[in-house]
A and B are shown apart, each in its own frame.
Chain A
Amino acid sequence: MSNKIAEKKKGWRELPIGGMILEAGNSAEYNTGAWRTFLPHINRKECKNCLLCWIYCPDSAIIVKEGKFGHFDMKHCKGCGICAHECPVKAIAMVEAKK
Chain B
Amino acid sequence: MSTNTVAMTGNIAVANAMRQINPDVCAAYPITPSTEVMQQFASFVADGEVDTELVAVDSEHSAMSACIGASAAGGRVMTATSANGLALMWEMLYIAAGNRLPIVMTTVNRALSAPINIHCDHSDAMGARDSGWIQLWSENAQEAYDNLIQAVRIAERREVRLPVMVCLDGFIISHSIERMELLDDMQVRNFIGPVKLHYPLLDVDNPVTYGPLDLQDYYMEHKRQQADAMQLAKPVILEVGQEFGKTFGRSYGFFEEYKLKDAELVVVALGSSVGTVKTVVDSLRQQGIAAGVLKLRSFRPFPAKELAAALKSAKAIAVLDRADSFGAYGGPLFSEVRSALFSLEAAPPTVDYIYGLGGRDFGVADVNGVFDDLKMLAKTGKASQEVNYITVRE
Contact = CB atoms under 8 A, between A and B. Distances in A.
A and B pair up: yes
Interface in A11-28: 11-12, 15-22, 24
A12 B224 contact: yes
Contact of A20 (B209, B221, B228): B209
A22 to B, nearest CB: 5
Contacts of B222: 12, 15, 17-19
B100 interface: yes
B249 interface: no
A61 B208 CA distance: 23
Nearest to B100: A18
A22 B208 contact: yes
Interface in B216-256: 217-222, 224-225, 228-229
Contacts of A17: 100, 161, 222, 225, 229
B211 interface: yes
A45 interface: no
A98 B225 CA distance: 44
Secondary structure type dominating chain B contacts: loop
A9 interface: yes
Interface residues of B, number: 24
Nearest to B159: A17
Given A11-B221, A12-B222, A24-B208, A19 B228 contact: no
A5 interface: yes
B94 to A, nearest CB: 12
B217 A5 contact: yes
Interface residues of A, number: 14
Secondary structure type dominating chain A contacts: loop
Interface string A24-64: 10000000000000000000000000000000000000000
A9 B98 contact: no
Contacts of A21: 208-209, 212
B210 interface: yes
B327 interface: no
A74 to B, nearest CB: 24
A12 B225 contact: yes
Contacts of B220: 12
Interface in B86-108: 98-101
A17 B227 CA distance: 12
A57 to B, nearest CB: 21
A15 B221 contact: yes
Contacts of A10: 221
A37 B387 CA distance: 61
B211 A19 contact: yes
Contacts of B58: none
Nearest to A8: B217
A9 B214 contact: no
Contacts of B161: 17-18
A17 B208 CA distance: 12
A20 B199 contact: yes
B203 to A, nearest CB: 11
B218 A15 contact: yes
Contacts of A11: 221
13 contacts: A9-B217, A9-B218, A12-B220, A12-B225, A15-B222, A17-B225, A18-B99, A18-B100, A18-B210, A19-B222, A20-B199, A20-B208, A24-B207
Given A11-B221, A19-B99, A24-B208, 14 more contacts: A9-B218, A12-B221, A12-B224, A12-B228, A17-B225, A18-B98, A18-B99, A18-B210, A18-B222, A19-B211, A19-B219, A20-B199, A20-B210, A22-B199
